[in-house]
Amino acid sequence: MSKKVLIGAVVGLGAAACIAACAKSGKCQGDSASEAKTTVWDKMRQGMEEMPEDFPPRVMFDNIEAAKANTDEILTLLKEEAVATTPAQ
């Protein structure tokens, strides 16, 4: 492996670690109480809405979002079923 590739990978991983640490601590973001904090998923959704409907990353994102919604619905139904089948004490 080339030294340039190795150095680039190390720098990239270092930058990713710094960004993750900064995001986790909350110091990178404005700490205004009036601002609603957006999640990474919401930021991605905003970016995907600007893309054309048939753009492959948007199609994948829409499919993932649909699967996530289905999973949330299934979990809700399973919890309701578990509560309904639990014997009263």
**pTM for this predicted structure:** 0.46
Q: Give tens-digit pLDDT for 43-78.
A: 888 888 888 888 888 888 889 889 999 999 999 999
Angstrom distance (rounded) from CA 56 to CA 63: 11
- pLDDT > 70 fraction of the chain, expressed in percent and rounded: 80
DSSP state of 50: T
Yes or no: say if 44 and 58 are a contact pair by the CB < 8 Å rule.
Answer: no
Angstrom distance (rounded) from CA 57 to CA 50: 12
